[in-house]
Amino acid sequence: MRFSYVLASLAAFSSSVGASPLEVRQAGCHPNFEGVGVSVVWDQQPFNTREWVPVDVGQNITTTINDFNQAAEFRFEQTGSPVTGYIAKKLGVPANNLVVGAGSSNQYLNIEYLNSNDATQVWDITCDVCGTNAWSVHGKFADGCTIRSPALARCAQVVTTVNHAHSAPSFLLQLVACDAAAPNQKFQFWMV
């Protein structure tokens, strides 16, 4: 019995040694971005791959067809409270003080000024697959990720809205009841 256990352990170890960072499977993992900037992507057909677009303060975050512009738009920093809490900061801001929040309506994700007393600026991220060694990754780092507001007990979801009868639809990020089976609530994180 012990011999078969040792063989199984050696086989598992040897198969994981050459694995790429995303091949490390962890059920219900919380990614460690290690301070690396990321692009947040929603990849659901027939809408093509769509990437979060950082906007100005007070505006709702939208998505655009992903062209992988080779520039990260956000940095997710772990807060340690709750243990899996993150603050999503907009990159390219010298004061480092613009973050993703739920806004005054608590309905759509938007960009707002960092407020350490605002619990709606803290997010829980749980993924189906998380990579390791963020600094060495170029490409998909985490997949099947749910972005949840612990303060509001709601999840980010891509929704389609049309403002005018003849305009193209917008894809916004709305906070709705969490549903593990909803594909519009599953995101990817890419290191670019």
Domains of the chain, earliest start first: 22-191 (2.80.10.50)
Confidence of residue 187 (pLDDT cuts 50, 70, 90): very high
The two tokens of residue 90 are 């907009």
- More confidently predicted of 96 and 169: 96
Region 103-115: mean pLDDT is 90
Region 126-143: mean pLDDT is 92
Confidence of residue 64 (pLDDT cuts 50, 70, 90): confident
**Listed range (2-6, 43-47, 102-106) with the worst mean pLDDT:** 2-6
pTM, two decimals, is 0.80
CA dist., res. 139 & res. 100, Å (int): 23
Local structure of residue 121 (DSSP, 8 states) = G
The two tokens of residue 27 are 């059920």
How much is the mean pLDDT over the chain? 80
Region 143-158: mean pLDDT is 94
Task: Decide if 191 contacts 137 (C-beta within 8 A).
Answer: yes
Which of 58, 88, 97, 82 lies closest to 153, judged by CA?
82
Check pLDDT > 80 for residue 157.
yes
Check pLDDT > 70 for residue 25.
no
- The share of the chain scoring above pLDDT 90, in percent, equals 46
- More confidently predicted of 47 and 149: 149
Write down the pLDDT at residue 27.
62
Write down the pLDDT at residue 66.
63
Task: Decide if 132 contacts 78 (C-beta within 8 A).
Answer: no
